[in-house]
């Protein structure tokens, strides 16, 4: 996985790829994903069947080949666990009260439920969607870890000049990862 700037810029405000089948439901929230700490993202990578090996300069790691059962477990983690919740900034440890009925936190929780249902529906009709979903989310968390590593290397002055470029590169890379998943879901539903 390389960090490069495409010839045509991607609108940073565009957000995640949109789905035709579910009123344009995004599969993640980039700001929430990048706010996940590097150690938590590394834990999600391992949960989704990736290795705990360190990342190289391009954000890739040489993880061993995954078996069908590894993909099934990874997909179960996506659809039944809290990985997708974390991608929308849902805090699964807190309880939502009556006064929070229309809060952004509750909307994020609803959004995560919708994405889990979409993934489950598409995954039931195609094993390829299951594999693509696990790979896409796992690699997106790898981008997240690499983002935190790059930001940690910045000092006060370089932060002012380079942070937005690092954020832009992470945005582009995550968007590219989810385009193929989006297409697989659209063809499966």
Tens of pLDDT, residues 138-157? 999 999 999 999 999 999 88
Q: Is residue 14 part of a domain?
A: no
Residue 130: give the domain boundaries: 23-188
Compute the distance between CA of residue 189 and CA of residue 182 in angstroms, rounded to an integer: 11
Q: Is residue 11 part of a domain?
A: no
Overall number of domains in the chain: 1
Q: Provide the pLDDT for residue 13.
A: 40
Q: Is residue 124 part of a domain?
A: yes
Helical H runs in the chain? 30-34, 38-47, 68-80, 83-87, 104-125, 127-152, 156-188
Q: Is residue 12 part of a domain?
A: no
Q: Is residue 6 part of a domain?
A: no
pTM beyond 0.85: the answer is no
Q: Is residue 10 part of a domain?
A: no
């Amino acid at each position: 996985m390389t960090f490069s700037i495409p010839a045509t810029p991607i609108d940073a405000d565009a957000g995640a790829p949109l789905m035709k089948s579910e009123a344009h439901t995004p599969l993640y929230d980039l700001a929430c994903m990048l706010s996940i700490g590097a150690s938590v993202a590394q834990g999600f990578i391992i949960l989704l069947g990736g290795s705990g090996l360190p990342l190289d300069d391009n954000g890739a790691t040489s993880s061993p080949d995954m078996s069908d059962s590894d993909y099934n477990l990874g997909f179960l983690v996506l659809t039944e666990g809290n990985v997708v919740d974390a991608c929308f900034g849902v805090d699964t440890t807190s309880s939502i009260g009556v006064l929070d009925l229309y809060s952004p936190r509750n909307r994020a929780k609803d959004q995560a439920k919708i994405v889990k249902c979409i993934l489950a529906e598409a995954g039931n009709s195609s094993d390829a969607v299951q594999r693509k979903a696990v790979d896409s989310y796992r690699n997106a968390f790898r981008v997240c870890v690499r983002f935190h590593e790059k930001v940690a290397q910045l000092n006060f002055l370089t932060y002012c000049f380079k942070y937005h470029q690092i954020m832009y590169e992470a945005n582009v890379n995550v968007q590219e990862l989810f385009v193929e998943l989006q297409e697989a879901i659209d063809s499966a539903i």
